[in-house]
Chain A
Amino acid sequence: MILVKDLTRIFETGNEDVLAVDHVSFSVSQSEVYGLLGPNGAGKTTTLRMILGLLNPTSGDAEVEGFLVSRQPDEIKRRVGLVSTSAGLYQWLTPREILFFFADVYGVSKDQAMERIANLSKLFELTSFLDRRSATLSTGQKQRVNLARSLIHNPPVMLMDEPTRGLDVVGSKVIFDYIDHLRDAGKAVIVCTHRLDEAEQLCDRFGLLYQGEKRYEGTLKELQQSTSCQSLTQIFLQLLDASAVTQKTIASVQKDVN
C-alpha cells in the first residue's frame, strides 16, 4: 500500500546543506501499523511530508496505492489522512464547520458528510463541543477534532506525526484506540513518534531512524533478536551509544592521520 523508495532530502540553509533524510526505504501493507521512530531531528516528519507530497524529495520516490508522489501528488493526497501535532484548527470556526469544510475539500457529498460527522462525533466524543468555537477547546478536544478531520474522507492510508504529544493519559488512550480501529479497518498506518513505550504497544513493525538514516527495521521480536535488547528504549540507547563511539573513533583516526 505504501512503498518508500530511497527517499533523500537535503535542506539548503544558505551556507551549508543539511542531509535530513538519507536514502530511506520501507513499505507498509494494509492493516499494518508501521512505527517510524527516532529522536528529534532524525528525519521522521520530513519523511512523512515527502510521502504526502508536501516536500519534494531531493532524490527517491514514494508510492501510495500504485500512485507515485513525484507524478500524481493529488491522487496520493486524496488517499491519505494526515494527523500532525503541529496541525491546528481554524480558531473562528466550530468543529462542525471545519469537518464540513474538509468533507467539501475532499469531495464528500453533503449527506455523506453529515453521516460521517455523526459517526466520528460519536467515535471521538465530539458532540458536546461540536458547535463551539475551536479557539475555546482544550488541547485534547482539539486533537480529537483533528483526528476526526483526518478521517472525514475515509482514507485508506493514515500518516500520524507525534499524535500523542501534549495529551494526557486519557487523551493518549483515545489515540491508541483510534489506531487499533484504523488497523481493524484495514488501513495502512505510519506513526511517527519518539515515545518508544507507546510505539511498542501500537505498532506491528518499526523503522528506527537516526540522523536521517534508517538504522534498524523489523518487528519487535526481530529487533530483539538482532540487538539482544529487550525493549525499544534499550535498542535505541544502544544505537546512540554505538553512534557516539563511531564518531569518537572517526575523530581520533582523523587526528592520527593529521
Chain B
Amino acid sequence: MSKISNRPNLSHSSAMTFRFSGLLKKELREILRDRRTIITLVLMPLLVYPLLGIMLQKFFITQMANLGKVEYRILLPNEAEGKLFRDVFNQGEQVLKLKESNEFLESEKNKPAGILEEFKQQKPHVKFLIVDEAVKNENMKSLVRAGDVDVGIRYIPSKSPNKKSDHDKLGGQFEIIYGAQSKHNRRVAEYVEQRLQAVRWEYRNRLLKQLGKSNAVPFTTSVSAVKSETGQAFSLVTIVPLILILMTMTGAVYPAIDLTAGERERGTLETLMAAPLPRMWILSAKFIAVLVVAIMTAMVNMLAMLATTFANGLETVLFGTGMTPFVLLEILLLLVIFAAFFSAVLLCITSFARSFKEAQAYLIPLMMISMAPGILGMVPDLKMTPFWAVIPLANIVLLSRDFLLHEAQPLLFFISVFSTLFYGVVALTLAARIFGTDTILYQNNSSWTDLFKRSKKSHPVPALNNAMLCLAVLFPVFILSASFVSRLGAMSISLRLLISGCLTFSLFLLIPLLFARMGGVNLKSGFRFFRPRILSCLGAILLGFTLWPFAYEIEILSLSNERIESLSKLFESLKLELGAVPLWIKLVALAVLPAVCEELFFRGYLLSSLLNRFSNTPAILISSFLFALFHVIVRDSLFIERFFPSFFMGICLGYVNVFARSVIPGIMLHMIHNGLLLTIANYQDLLTDWEINLENQKHLPLAWLGCSMLIVIVGFLLIRISNQSETEDRPIQ
C-alpha cells in the first residue's frame, strides 16, 4: 500500500469552491440512469396512449351506434331564403346520389376523421326551421349559440344581383353558422357544406362540358363558428390536461421517493449530510432533478398523446377545434408550473419518510387526494372563477381546458400560476425545514401501537404527532356525525340542536382529553387553560362584538350572485325552521358549546402542539386552516364559502390566544361572536324595522365597517398590552 499524505486539504476551507452544478449533475445522473425512471418516462406513455386510443375509439363507435336516428336542425331566416336554400340543398343531395358523383365522394373520403365514418353513413333526418319574421344575423347566432338549432343558414346576395331566378346563377354566398363547442353542430355544418359543394362541383362540370374551361361558380359558401353554450354534456377537452397532469405526477413520484427516502435507506444520504453542504443546496438539487424528470415525463406524454390522437383521428374529439402549436406550448407551460408545485409537495412528504416503503405509503393518499380537484375540474359547464384559480390541480385542469377552447382569461391565468407557484414555495420551504433533520434521519422507529400506549412521563404540551393523530380521528368522526345529525329529520329542531351540541362537546373536548391522557399531557398547559388578564378579556369582548362585519364581508366577497341568491333562499327556510326554537337552546348549542369546545381543541390542544414546533404565525395559520376546513362541512353538505370567513376568524382567535397567552379570552370572543349573530337572526324582524337586514347578503354600510375597525384595533391593543409585562404563563390555581 502506498502512503497517505498528512497534508489535509484545507487550503480554501473558508471559501469553498463547491459547485452546485456538481451536485445537480450527480442527482440527474443517478436518476436518469435508473431503469425505473426510464420505464415511467418512456415505456408508460408508449403503452398507455395506444391502449387509451383504442379504448376511446371503441367507446365512440359504441356511443354512436346507440344514437339511432339522428336529427339535423337547420334554421333558415325566412321563407324566400328557405326555399332558395332547400332547392340548392336538394339538388346537392341529388348530385351526391348520382353515379357520376362517386368521383367527388372519392376525393372527399380522405377528409373526415376515420372513426366517425360509420356514423356518417347513416342517413340523418333533416329538419328545416323557418322563421316568418326577418331574423337578423345576430339573432340567428344567438339561437345557434343557445343550442336551439344545429346550424343557421343565411344567404348573402351578390352586390350585382342576377335577376334570373335560376339558382345556377345566384352569384351570392351561403353562410353556415354553427356552434364551435358541439361536435354534432360541426357535423351538421359539414353535412350541409358537402351538399352545397356538390352543387358547385356539378355546375362547374356542366360548364366545362359546355364552354370548355371556366372558373364560374353559381354561389360560394362560408362557414362561421359561434361560441355555443350547450356544447357537450361531458367535456372531453378536460380529459387531455387531466391525463397529462396525472402522468406528470406519476413521472415525478419515483424520483422524489428515490432521491430522498431511497437515499436514506441505501445510506447515501448520511454521507451527503456529513459533507459541508448547505441543506438547502442538497434539497434544491434534488428538487431540480425531480422537476426535470417530471417535465420530461410531461413532454413525452404530450408527444405520445398527440401521436396517438392523430393516428386514431381523435384530435378534434379530444382537443376540440382550438388546438394550435401555441396552445400546446401554453399547456406545456402550465404543466411545467404544475410539475414544480407537485415536485415540491412530493419532496416535502418524502422527506418525512425513512424508507422507500414508508414514502410510498405516504404518497398513495396524496395521489388519491390529488385526483379529487382534478376530477372536480371535469364537471360539465364548470367555469373558471377566482375560487377555482386558487385550488391546486383543478386550476391547471380548468385553465388548460380554457386554453383549448380559447376561453382563458389573463387575470385567472395569473392567479392560477401565482397561487400554484406560491404553494410550491411553501411546500419547498417546509421540505427544507424537515429534510435531513436528525429527527427524520435517526429517530427511533417506533411501532404504530406506541401511539396508543399511555405516556410514562408528563409533557407540558402535546407532541405534534399526538395532536395530528387526534385530528385524524376527529375529522372522519366529525363528518359522520354531521351526516348523522342531518338524518334526524323526524325529530324536532330543538332536539336536533341539543344532539348537535352534545356531539360538539364529545368530539372537540372528550376526544382531545383522551389523547391528552394517553400522551401524558398536562391539561392546563396542554389546553392553554391559563388565567387571563382582565384587559385581555375586555379586548376579547370588544372583538367578539366587532369582528363579525369583516367575516361577513369576506363571505360576501367570495360569493357569486347566483350563490347569494341560493343562500338567501336557504336562509329563508332556515329562519322558518329555527324560528320555533327558543333562543337559549340556540345559544347553548350554537354559541356556548362550539366556542368552548372548538377553542379548547383548535386554539388549546392543537395550537399548543404547533407552537412547540413552529413560530407564532405559521402555527396560527396551520391551526386556522384546519379550523376553516372543519367549518366547510355543514351537516352533510359542503359550504366552500365558509372557508374564508372561518379562516379569518381562526387567525384572529389564534392571535388573541397567543397575545393573551390563554384560551379563555378566545372562548369569550368566539361565544360573543356566535351569540351575537344568533341574536341578530332571532330578532331580524325587529331589526328590519330599523333597516338592518343581514339576510339579503348585501354589503354593510362603510360607517359600520369603519367603527368596527377602530374597536377591533382597540381590542387587539388591549390584549397585546395586557401581557407585555408578563413573562410566564400562569396556570389557574
Contacts and interface: CB of A to CB of B under 8 A. Distances in A.
Q: Do A and B come from one complex?
A: yes
Interface of A: 11-18, 46, 49, 52, 54-56, 74-75, 77-80, 82, 84, 86-93, 97, 101-102, 104-109, 112, 119, 122-123, 149, 151, 153-156, 177-178, 181-182, 184-187
B270 A87 contact: yes
Which residue among A17, A46, A88, A109 has the maximum number of chain B CB atoms within 10 Å of its CB? Answer: A88
B111 interface: no
B274 interface: yes
B569 interface: no
Contacts of A74: 276
Contacts, number: 153
Interface residues of B, number: 54
A121 to B, nearest CB: 10
B6 A86 contact: no
B16 A90 contact: no
A63 B29 CA distance: 36
A92 B33 CA distance: 6
Contacts of B25: 101
Q: Is the interface of A mostly helix, strand, loop or mixed?
A: mixed
Given A13-B450, A106-B9, 15 more contacts: A12-B463, A14-B451, A15-B450, A15-B456, A16-B455, A49-B442, A78-B10, A86-B267, A88-B266, A88-B271, A97-B26, A105-B18, A123-B1, A155-B8, A156-B8
Contacts of B455: 14-16
Nearest to A76: B276
Contacts of B438: 49, 54-56
B186 to A, nearest CB: 50
Contacts of A79: 8, 10, 13
B4 interface: yes
Given A87-B271, A105-B23, A15 B454 contact: yes
B456 A54 contact: no
B30 A187 contact: no
Contacts of B454: 15
Contact of B456 (A16, A102, A178): A16
Contact of A54 (B5, B441, B466, B519): B441
A54 B279 CA distance: 11
Contacts of A75: 13, 276
Contacts of B451: 14
Contact of A154 (B4, B268, B277, B444): B4
Which residue among B17, B31, B270, B277 has the maximum number of chain A CB atoms within 10 Å of its CB? Answer: B270
Contacts of A101: 22-23, 25-26
A217 B483 CA distance: 67
B3 interface: yes
Contact of A107 (B5, B7, B16, B443): B16
Q: Which 5 A/B pairs are nearest by Cβ-Cβ distance?
A: A88-B267, A88-B266, A104-B22, A92-B33, A107-B16
A88 B274 contact: no
A14 B23 contact: no
A118 B443 CA distance: 39
10 contacts: A14-B451, A15-B454, A15-B520, A84-B267, A87-B268, A90-B268, A106-B9, A107-B16, A184-B3, A185-B5
Contacts of A153: 8-9
A12 B456 CA distance: 12
B422 to A, nearest CB: 31
A3 B522 CA distance: 39
Nearest to A31: B6
Interface string B441-466: 11110100011011111000001011
A56 B443 CA distance: 12
A105 B4 contact: no
B328 to A, nearest CB: 33
B275 A77 contact: yes
Nearest to A133: B33
